[in-house]
Amino acid sequence: MSSDVVLLEGDGIGPEITKSVVRILDAAGADLKYHAFDIGQTAFDKCGKLIPEETLDAINEFKVALKGPVTTPVGKGFRSVNVSLRLKYDLYVNLRPAKSIPGISKFQNVDIVTVRENTEDLYIGEEKEIAGGFEAIKRITEKSSERIIRYAFDYAKKHGRKKVTCIHKANILKKSDGLFLSVFEKVAGEYQGIEADSKIVDNMCMQLVMYPEKYDVLVAPNLYGDIISDLIAGLVGGLGLVAGANIGSDAAIFEAVHGSAPDIAGKGIANPLALLNGACMMLDHMGKRDVSSRIQSAVSKVLQSKTHLTQDLGGNATGEQFAGEIIRCL
């Protein structure tokens, strides 16, 4: 596979963590050819477009992107650039693995992969004014439900996972979530040897905090998957650690689960590890497993020695110092 990668550093803490991640990738010998482009407010300020044509052309051409976080204004302003990219390239899978790190995570028994549907649900952004307020459309279709649920079972089969749990609220949303659940039950029947169960989303939140060791692969409509994966990030040590891959049949965009963290942007204290984990998922996707394993073992050494941890992990190193120590351990 080609070594071309579209690099979208985003905004907020995006530029600083992207810089650290690229340093580590280069030091590890990933041998990638980066094509850097703007997105979001940074792009808008330069050319009046949130996702410029040349950014789209580059993703079309190279098919793989590493993306820093992008700010989406709350309550007003433009549609999320992340959601737009996911819809544009039909990146229907949002894959978010999270595993406990000895000595770092609050919970030592977590090894969960969230498979979140990435194109439907409330994220289609169809809101309209009604008398006295607004209403938003939650879209769940059989086709999109089936492809994400199949992806979850295929992932479980391929990676030797034992169980897939469907998250829903079909007791209240009998038609939309009811459809997601019924498709899950139909598809589950085709995968002998993989346990299938389902949980209502509110119960699932409690289960994950009380008994995370009971869960393996989770599959969820967009909104529940978004919320649950942040909860699971908290179980393993916070948003500074967890990555996500947006995967379609033609292109894939790798990123951190966290956002642009405006509260700490520019202070140099952001943890680059979540984006680095996203970059490792990208290396695996590109067939460079040896490089991602080398990076992961260096990261493990740094996390175990605890001498260069960033503030979110209880240390006082800057993001650059943390990255420098990973490079030293490579």
Pick out residues in 252-291 that bind ligand NAI (CB under 6 A).
Answer: 255, 258-264, 270-271, 274
CB–CB of 240/312 below 8 Å? yes
Contact string (CB under 6 A) for ligand NAI, positions 71-90, x = contact? xx---------x--------
Find out whether 303 and 326 touch, Cβ atoms under 8 Å. Answer: no
Rounded to whole angstroms, how far apart are CA atoms 183 and 284?
30
Distances (CA, A) of 36 to 39, 40, 53, 65, 315: 10, 14, 13, 10, 31
Burial of 121 (0-12, 13-18, 19+ CB in 10 A): buried
Which residue's CB is nearer to ligand NAI, number 72 or number 321? 72
To ligand NAI, the closest distance from the beta carbon of 73 in angstroms equals: 7
CB 64 within 8 A of CB 285: yes
312 catalytic per annotation: no
Rounded alpha-carbon distances, angstroms, from residue 81 to 49, 127, 151: 11, 17, 24
To ligand NAI, the closest distance from the beta carbon of 114 in angstroms equals 14
* Site for ligand NAI, residues 14 to 53, rule: CB under 6 A: 17
d(CA 78, CA 71): 10
Report residue 67 as tokens.
């993306």
Tell me which of 123, 155, 215, 224 is the catalytic residue: 123
Q: Which of 49/163 has CB closer to ligand NAI?
A: 49
Q: How far is the CB of 159 from ligand NAI (least distance, A)?
A: 24
Give the residue at shortest CB distance from ligand NAI. 259
Q: How far is the CB of 124 from ligand NAI (least distance, A)?
A: 17
Q: Which residue's CB is nearer to ligand NAI, number 15 or number 178?
A: 15
# chain residues binding ligand NAI, by CB under 6 A:
21
Among 32, 43, 70, 87, binds ligand NAI (CB under 6 A): 70
Determine whether 327 is exposed, middle or buried from the number of CB atoms within 10 Å of its CB (0-12, 13-18, 19+). middle
Q: Does residue 226 carry a catalytic annotation?
A: yes
- Of the candidate spans 68-76, 165-173, 195-203, 296-304, the one that interacts with ligand NAI by CB under 6 A turns out to be 68-76
Residues 6+ apart with CB under 8 A from 6: 34, 35, 37, 55, 58, 59, 62, 64, 65, 66
Among residues 169, 177, 224, 288, the one annotated as catalytic is 169
Kindly identify the residues of this chain, within the stretch 188-247, that bind ligand NAI according to CB under 6 A.
Answer: 239-240
- Establish whether 202 is a catalytic residue: yes
Judged by CB, which is closer to ligand NAI: 28, or 239?
239
Region 287-316 residues binding ligand NAI, contact defined as CB under 6 A: 312
* C-alpha distances in Å from residue 118, one per residue of 85, 167, 244: 10, 14, 11
Distance CA 271, CA 63 (A): 27
Q: What are the residues facing 314 on neighbouring strands?
A: none
* Catalytic residue list contains 174: no
Q: Which residues bind ligand NAI (CB under 6 A)?
A: 13, 17, 69-72, 82, 239-240, 255, 258-264, 270-271, 274, 312
Catalytic positions, written as ranges: 123, 169, 202, 226
